[in-house]
A and B are shown apart, each in its own frame.
Chain A
Amino acid sequence: MINNQDAVKAIDNKRDGAIIVPTMNANNVHFGLPTVTSNQELDLPVSGAMGKASSLALGLALAQPDKKVFCLDGDGSLLMNLGTLVTLSNKAPKNLYHFLFNNNVYAVTGGQPIPGAEVSDWEGMAKGAGYASVFSFDNLEDLTTGLEEVLACEGPVFIHLRVEPEVENTPVQFRQRPSRTVQQAFKDLPQALGVK
């Protein structure tokens, strides 16, 4: 399995100007993208969006077809919005890379297993929905060396990552808040893109 922070760091290292839309563990203030990002202005964090990070990323990919867009999704999140796989592949943006951080638990609510943990076939679902390419990695070395091939593919690409659970038990209102608000991120990104 891959450590969360190692995974986001490996992805950030290869972003090369890509917009990144992280959610849940991939957006965690202790071990998610905010701890390693190399281009904060191009990050659009959306934790607590009930599985809509990939929908947001789809809109961005359609609006900015010349820029790569990475969605860093969670397994529990994707289950809340599973139709997104078909919505997204139907529009088939060539610049969209959908990473799934699969830890098989609801890590932010205490580690309860997600429905279908260890049974659901994520790669099969993405293939069946019509993604152009599907990859899977369960160790950091393969991910690090494989990202070049992943990013050379035309999207939509689905990348399944088997990651270690990083469970939090503290009620949401007592957790450390991100230093950069979602509202600020929505102000920063258009300026960074030169669209407002």
Chain B
Amino acid sequence: MTTHEAVLHPPALINELKKNDITHIVWLPDSETNFMYQMLQAEPTIDLVPVCREGETMAIAAGLWVGGKKPVVLIQNTGIFESGDSIRGLGLDINQPLVMLIGYRGWTRRGATPDSAARFTEHILHAWGINYYLIETDEDADRIGLAVEEAYRTQRPVGVLIGAEFGSE
């Protein structure tokens, strides 16, 4: 079994979401971000909205946003591929300031990744013209704030790729 020193912890991300007044996380759990689940469930200021399929998340977020709330979505990069038409129609076309937290499956800084999910992720975001930030450590967490600011300033979706070795505390 391989172990890595954890460099990204749930409080760093959740505190940043709270600091930016995020009201809802529309979520389909994934292996890259499941470390936040228990802490998010216990967080009284943020409502979790679990979905069955990732394409639902952008539409639910659109409803929350047009109804006056401030949601983000949290899905895996594979879910981004699945959600293409929702990102087009209910993100880009309606000018939704949608922050998408994306578990970066397959991401590594060490050598080549065998995972095509990682290899295609940034190309897909480029194709849509969606800007994005990368979070790998607790010190990067304030990039969520940058993404929120950019999304609301430009009225466009913005991605936050979570490519970390995470911890449980």
Q: Is A55's CB under 8 angstroms from B66's CB? A: no
Nearest Cβ on chain A to B41's Cβ, whole angstroms: 14
Interface residue? A117 (CB, 8 A): no
Nearest Cβ on chain B to A19's Cβ, whole angstroms: 8
Number of interface residues of B (CB under 8 A): 30
Which B residues are in CB contact (< 8 Å) with A190?
66-68
Q: Is A87's CB under 8 angstroms from B56's CB? A: yes
- Checking B53, B63, B71, B95 against A61 with a beta-carbon cut-off of 8 angstroms, the contacting residue is B63
Which B residues are in CB contact (< 8 Å) with A61?
63
Nearest Cβ on chain A to B108's Cβ, whole angstroms: 31
- Checking A60, A86, A182 against B63 with a beta-carbon cut-off of 8 angstroms, the contacting residue is A60
The residue on A at minimum CB distance from B24 is A62
The residue on B at minimum CB distance from A91 is B49
- Checking A49, A59, A84, A189 against B64 with a beta-carbon cut-off of 8 angstroms, the contacting residue is A59
The residue on A at minimum CB distance from B60 is A59
Q: Is A59's CB under 8 angstroms from B61's CB? A: yes
The residue on B at minimum CB distance from A59 is B63
Q: Is A55's CB under 8 angstroms from B56's CB? A: yes
Q: Is B56's CB under 8 angstroms from A63's CB? A: no
Chain B residues with CB under 8 Å of chain A are 24, 26, 47, 49-53, 55-56, 58-69, 71, 85-86, 89-90, 93-95
Closest 8 CB pairs of A and B: A59-B63, A63-B67, A83-B52, A195-B68, A55-B59, A52-B59, A60-B63, A59-B64
